[in-house]
Amino acid sequence: MHRFANPARFMRIANAVLPFATAAFVILTGLGLYYGLFDSPPDYQQGETVRIMYIHVPAAYLGVMIYGVIATSSASLLIWKHPLAELIARASAPVGFAFTFLCLATGSLWGKPMWGTWWVWDARLTSMLILLFLYAGYMALSNAFDEPGRGNKPAAILALVGVVNLPIIKFSVDWWNTLHQPASIIRLDGPTIDSAMLTPLFLMLGGWTCFYLMILVIRLRSEMAAAKLRIAMMQGARKEEAVA
Q: Is the pLDDT of residue 1 over 60?
A: no
Kindly calculate the radius of gyration of the chain based on its CA atoms and give it in whole angstroms: 21
pLDDT tens digit string along 83-104?
788 889 999 999 999 999 999 9
Average pLDDT, the chain: 85
* Architecture label for domain 2-219: Up-down Bundle (1.20)
Q: Is the pLDDT of residue 2 over 60?
A: no
Q: Is the pLDDT of residue 188 over 60?
A: no
**C-alpha to C-alpha distances, 10 to 5, 16, 25, 83, 194, nearest whole angstrom:** 7, 10, 21, 11, 40
Name the residue with higher pLDDT: 107 or 194.
107
| Contacts of range 14-20, beta carbons closer than 8 Å, 24 or more positions apart | 14/216, 14/217, 14/220, 15/217, 17/213, 17/217, 18/214, 18/217, 18/218
Is there a contact between 83 and 19 (Cβ–Cβ < 8 Å)? no
Q: Can you give the pLDDT at residue 184?
A: 66
Q: What's 48's DSSP letter? A: G
Q: Which of 58, 9, 5 is nearest to 205 (CA)?
A: 58
* Least confident window among 98-102, 125-129, 192-196: 192-196
Q: Per-residue pLDDT averaged across 135-158, rounded? A: 87
Q: Can you give the pTM of this predicted structure?
A: 0.87
* Least confident window among 136-140, 219-223, 233-237: 233-237
